[in-house]
Amino acid sequence: MNDSHPDAIALVRRAQSGDRDAYAALFDRFHQPVVGYLYHLVGERQAAEDVAQDAFIRAYERIGLLGPPWNFKGWIYRIAGNLAMNHLKRERRLVESDEPELMAEPPTTRRPSERRVVRGELQQSVRRALEGIPAPLRQALVLREVNGLSYEEMADALSVSYDNARQLVHRAPHAVSG
């Protein structure tokens, strides 16, 4: 649901007036997509969950600061992205992809052990590609291609202009191959 939808705005306004159920509805709507975004940035499921928890706590504590257009979606992604970058700086870690359920695999007649080897090779390849992308490009790529955010939503989440959001997504694949 687009965050400018009257229902989303109403939830934000209700949460700002202290309605915990409204904030719970916002949490339910955005928690899993935010965790997925963070997983692709930090590379560990538990770290992604921890950073998401911190992001939602911070958003809850500061919900009163969110003003027009009350774009909670962009705001929570921005908070989460900033916390993820802080986490990566602290940990000095690069993205690792070790959860097979997140990797799409075409149907095959290979044996399970062969599929695991191929999947592992693919994961290594993806990890190496993502490791080489600067953080802003990686964030843009994950927001657009994994989380499906529009360029407008990305611009808000990354605190950049619409044109800059488009440019970041365009530059990301060239950073991989370059």
Is pLDDT at 111 greater than 70 in this prediction?
no
Residue 166 included in any domain: no
∠150-155-157 over CA atoms, to 5°?
95
Residue 171 included in any domain: no
Whether residue 100 is preceded by a cis peptide bond, meaning omega within 30 degrees of 0, is no
Structure-block tokens of residue 121: 């090779």
Residue 101 included in any domain: no
Residues 6 or more apart in contact with residue 56 via CB below 8 angstroms:
27, 31, 34, 76
Q: What is the mean pLDDT of residues 121-136?
A: 72
Smallest CA-to-CA distance from 87 within 139, 152, 27 is with 139
The pTM of the full predicted model, rounded to 2 decimals, is 0.71
Residue 153 included in any domain: no
Residue-range definition of the domain harbouring residue 5 = 1-94
Which amino acid type is present at position 108? T
Confidence of residue 146 (pLDDT cuts 50, 70, 90): confident
Higher pLDDT, 99 or 26: 26
pLDDT, residue 173, reads: 78
| Structural domain total, the chain | 1
pLDDT, residue 22, reads: 97
Higher pLDDT, 131 or 55: 55
Following DSSP, what letter does each residue of 42-107 receive, concatenated? H--HHHHHHHHHHHHHHHHHHGGG--TT--HHHHHHHHHHHHHHHHHHHHT-------GGGS----
Residue 114 included in any domain: no
Residue 73 included in any domain: yes
Residue 126 included in any domain: no
b/e per residue 94-104 (b: at least 16 CB within 10 A): ebebeeeeeee
Confidence of residue 26 (pLDDT cuts 50, 70, 90): very high
Residue 170 included in any domain: no
Q: What percent of the chain has pLDDT over 70?
A: 75
Confidence of residue 113 (pLDDT cuts 50, 70, 90): low
CATH number for 43: 1.10.1740.10
Residue 13 has, within 13 A of its CA and on its CB side, a CA count of: 10
